Amino acid sequence: MIQVVFHALGGQGAKSAAHVLAEAAFSEGKEIQAFPEFGPERRGTPVRAFVRISESRITTHEPVTEPDYSVIIDPSMITADRMKGTCIVNSTESIDEIRKNTGFKGPLHVLDALKVSQYANLPMLAAFVKVSGVVRIGSVIKHAEEMFGDKAKQSIDAIKKAEGLVR
Amino acid sequence: MRQPLTGAEAVAEAMRQLKPDVVVAYPITPQTPIVEKYAEFVADGKVQTEMIPVESEHSALSAVVGASAAGVRAMTATSSVGLALMWEVVNAASGLGLPIVMNVVNRALSAPINIHCDHSDSMGCRDAGWVQIYCENGQEAYDFTILATKLAESCAVPVMVMQDGFITSHSVESVDFLDDHKVEAFAGKYRNPNGLLGDNPQSVGPFSLPNSFFEFKVRQEQRMEKAKSMFLSVGKELEKLTGRTYSFFEEYHLKDAEAIIVTMSSTAGTVKAAVDKMRQNGKKVGLLKLNLFRPFPYREIREALKHVKSIAVLDRSFSFGANAPLHGEITNSLCEIKNSVHGTAANIHGSVFGLGGRDMFEKDVENVFDALLAGKEPEKFIGAKA
Amino acid sequence: MSEQKFTSEHSLCQGCAVPIVVNAVLNSTDKQVVVGIATGCLEVASTQYPGGAWKVPYIHSLFENIAPTMAGVEAAYKALRKEGLKKELKFIAFAGDGATYDIGLQAFSGVLERGHDILYVCYDNEGYMNTGGQRSGATPHGANTTTQPAGKESYGKTQQRKNIMEIVAAHNIPYAAQASTADIPDLMRKARKALEMKGPRFLNVLCPCIANWKYDPKETVNVARLAVETGFWPLYEIENGNYIINYQPKQRIRIEEFLKLQKRFAHLFNQKNSHAIAELQANIDREWERLKAKCGVSG
C-alpha cells in the first residue's frame, strides 16, 4: 500500500489533487481511499488531503502518519515537520537550499509550480506522478479533464509541462 | 458498476435510485454533502422529488413526518445537534409507525461544539424506536440505505442509517452500485392507501389517555421485534442483487479467537487491519462488527461470543454515569452465560474512544488486543490525554 | 477607548467584514458588555479553544437559541440587580441570517415579544456560509446556492428574501435598523443609539461574503455599495414605529450592476433565466415604494 499526503492552504486544491489521483488509480484497477483532514471550513488555513493506493482491499481508517510521499503545494508550508517519506515540494529554491532550511535529508524533488500555472495543485500532482510512477500520467490527465470541465485544457497543459520541469 | 465516491455521495446516489417523493433538507456539517448532491440531482432533473429546503432540523423531520403520513416515500439526513433538535419528532415518527429512512452522519453532540465524528448523536436516541444500522464504509451506507427503505416500508418502522462523519462521509472509496432499474424493482413504489392522501385515509396522532396509550406502545415494540427478522429476509433479497450478505453482525476471525473486539462503523475496518497483522504473528484475535444496533440481537450475539474468553467492547460515545451503550448491550447479551468452552463467564471490558473525532490508530487496537491476551484491562479512554 | 474587545485572533476569511461590524458595535458603548454568539461563521472562527478573539465575556450555546439564551442571562442580571448588583451591563447578541431568519426565528420572536433588554445584531451574508453556502430565508431571489442550485431545470432560489425588518417591526420593539458594511459610521451611529435604549433592539447588517457570493476581492467595497445604491439593501431605521430612510439614492441603479459582480448570479444572465432578474427588480421596486409610503406615517 502507498500512502500520500498533500499539504496546502484551504482553497488551493489539495482535496481536488487527491481526488484526481484516487480516480486515476481507481481507473487503473487499484483499490483507493482518499480523504481530507478537516477543521471547520475556512479558506487560507493549512489543510491536508490523504490518498491510499493498494492492490488489495483497504480496510483501515486510521490517519496517515507515515506517508510514503509528501506533496507540499504551498511554499510557505515547506517545514521539517511536514517532510516525511519522499518529498515533492513547490518552491523557487534549489534542493540544497531547501535541505539547509529544513534539515531534511531524505529523497527530495522540487517543482517551481508557478512557472507552470497559477494553480499549483495539478502541476504538483503531475510532479508526484512523475517521481513515484504510482499511476500513469495519462490516467491523471483523463480524470483532470473530466473533473475540471472547461478549465480542463489549462489543467492538462499544466500537468504536461510540470512533468518535464520537476527536478 | 464500481465508482470511487465519498460515503455522502454514495448515499445521495442510493436516494436518487430509491426515488423518494419528498426530501427535506437542512444543512449541518458533515451531512451537508448528501443534501447538496441530492439538490443537484433535482435541479438537473435527474430525479423527480419535491424538495423542501427548510429552516431547521425540527422542521425537516416534521415535514418528512407529514409527507410519510400522507402516504408517500419521504427522506432526510442529519447529524449531531441537528438530530438532537429533531428528537421530539424522532419519537413522534416511530410512535406513528412511519416508514421514514434518515441518514445520520455521526458527529459529536455539543457542548462544547465539535464537528467531528463520534456516536453520541445516534446513541442519544437509541430508545426512540427507530431501527439503527451502523455502516463500516460507503459501500455499506449505500447498501443499507436501500435495505432500510424496503425494511421500513415492510414493517412501518422508521430506520436510521449511520456512517462516520468525515471518516466515511468525506472519504472516497470504491463503491459498487446497482443499476437504477434493479433498485427500482427492489424497492418498488410506496403508496399507503391509509395515508392522509390515500383512498382510505386515517387520522394521525390522536390524544390517547392512560386507558389506551400502553397498548399503542406495545404494538410499537412488536413492530420493532418484527423488524429484526425482516432485516434478515430483506437482506437475503438484496443479497440476490448485490452478492453481498447482510447480517446483524460480521464475524471476522472469530471462530478460534481468544481475544476479540466488538465495535461498529469505520473503526471496525481499522480493527480488521490490526487483526490481519496480528494473525500473521500468530496471535489469535478477532472482531465482531455489529451492524444492527436496534433492535439489538441479544440471542445471536450470545451464540457468537459464547466461546470467547476475553472481550473488549469499543464505544464511540459515553453513556454518562453508566456503561457505554454497546458495552452495556454486550454485557446484557452475555450476562447469564457461562462460557461454553472455558467454563467461566467471559471477561468483558468496556473502553471509549474517538470522541469528537479523536483518531484511532491500528496501534491503539493492537494495544487493546495485547492487554486482553495478557489478561489485563485495556485502556478505559483510548487516546484521551486525561 | 481602551483595549480591543474583539481581537484579530480569529480565522474569518481575509476580506470578511464581520470583524469590522463586531468591533463597530462593541466600541459604540463604554459600558461593560456580555456577548452572546450563535453558531455560525463568527462563532466558529472566533471561539476556537484554547484561544479566541473575545476579550469580553461571551456565551455560545447552539445554533437557534442565542436570543433566549441571552434572555436568560438578562433575567439573571435583573435578579442580581434586585439583590444590589451595581454594575451596568449591556447585552449584545451576534447571529447570522441562518440563525435569525430561519432556525432561530421562533425563539427570536419570543424575545422580541417579551421585551428583553438585548441588542440583537444580525450579520446577514445571505446564506449558511460557514457550512459552505447553503440557502437561507435571507438568500436573494435567483441566487445559486448548494441546496437550491441553478441547474438544467432550476434557476436557483425561487423565493424572494424574507423581510426580517417587517417581522421585527410587527413586534413593536423600540428600535430596528438596517446597516451595511458600506457605511461603517452609519452603523456605529445606529449601534450607539440602540445601546442607549432599553428593550429589544435589532440591527440587520449586510455583510458580503467573498467565499460564497464569489466576487473578486477587489470589488468588496463596490459590492457593498451597490447593494445600497440599487435599493436592494435600504439603509433605514424604525424607531418606536417611525420609519426613517437614512439614504435615498437619487436614481436607484439597476440591480444587474450588483448581480453581475457575483458568480452566484452568473447563471441569471442566460436568456432562459433572465426573468429572475426582472422579478428581483420588480420586488425591489415594490418594497422601496412600500418603505417610502411607511415614512409618510407619523408616530
Are residues B277 and B188 part of one domain? no
- In the prediction, which pLDDT does C297 show? 47
Are residues B262 and B226 part of one domain? no
What does the alpha-carbon distance between residue B137 and residue C106 come to, in Å, rounded to a whole number? Answer: 38
**Structure confidence by residue, pLDDT tens digits, B27-49:** 999 999 999 999 999 999 999 99
C2: Cβ contacts below 8 Å, ≥ 6 apart? none
Domain CATH for B366: 3.40.50.920
CB distance A42–C132 less than 8 Å? Answer: no
Are residues B116 and B43 part of one domain? yes
Q: What residues of chain B lie within 8 A of the CB of A58, using their CB?
A: 173
- In the prediction, which pLDDT does B207 show? 87
Is residue A149 classed exposed, middle or buried when 0-12, 13-18 and 19+ CB atoms within 10 A define those classes?
Answer: exposed
Q: What residues of chain C lie within 8 A of the CB of A42, using their CB?
A: 11, 13, 45
Amino acid at A28: E
DSSP state of B74: E
Last residue of a domain, one of B196, B223, B242: B242
CB distance B362–A62 less than 8 Å? Answer: yes
SS3 B247: coil
- In the prediction, which pLDDT does B339 show? 67
**Structure confidence by residue, pLDDT tens digits, C14-28:** 889 999 999 999 999
pLDDT > 90? residue C124: yes
pTM for the structure as a whole: 0.90
Mutate to test the interface with B, among C102, C103, C108 (most CBs of B within 10 A): C103
**Structure confidence by residue, pLDDT tens digits, B217-259:** 999 999 999 999 999 999 999 999 999 999 999 999 999 999 9
pLDDT > 70? residue B187: yes
Task: Give me the mean pLDDT over the A64-80 stretch.
Answer: 95
CA distance A145 to chain C (A): 21
- State which residues form the domain around B33: 2-242
Last residue of a domain, one of B205, B220, B242: B242
What does the alpha-carbon distance between residue C11 and residue C175 come to, in Å, rounded to a whole number? Answer: 32
**Structure confidence by residue, pLDDT tens digits, B262-313:** 999 999 999 999 999 999 999 999 999 999 999 999 999 999 998 898 999 9
Are residues B368 and B336 part of one domain? yes
Least confident stretch, B148-157, B197-206, C199-208:
B197-206
Q: Name the average pLDDT for chain B.
A: 95
pLDDT > 60? residue C1: no
Please list the residues that pair with A80 across neighbouring strands.
Answer: none
Domain CATH for B39: 3.40.50.970
Are residues B302 and B238 part of one domain? no
Task: Quote the number of domains for chain B.
Answer: 2
CA distance A97 to chain B (A): 35
CA distance C13 to chain A (A): 6
Task: Please give the grid coordinates belonging to residue A80.
Answer: 521539517
Q: Which residue has the cell 488551493?
A: A12
**Structure confidence by residue, pLDDT tens digits, C257-281:** 999 999 999 999 999 999 999 999 9
- In the prediction, which pLDDT does C298 show? 40
For chain C, domains (ranges, CATH) are: 18-295 (3.40.50.970)
What does the alpha-carbon distance between residue A55 and residue B350 come to, in Å, rounded to a whole number? Answer: 35
What is the DSSP secondary-structure string of C173-219? -SEEEEEETT-HHHHHHHHHHHHTS-S-EEEEEE---IIIII--GGG
CB A167 within 8 A of CB A95: yes
Select the residue of B25, B45, B55 nearest C103 (Cβ to Cβ).
B55
Are residues B325 and B230 part of one domain? no
Q: Give the other-Cβ count within 10 Å of C152's Cβ.
A: 9
For chain A, domains (ranges, CATH) are: 2-165 (3.40.920.10)
- In the prediction, which pLDDT does B338 show? 65
Last residue of a domain, one of B224, B242, B260: B242
- In the prediction, which pLDDT does B342 show? 66
pLDDT > 60? residue C2: no
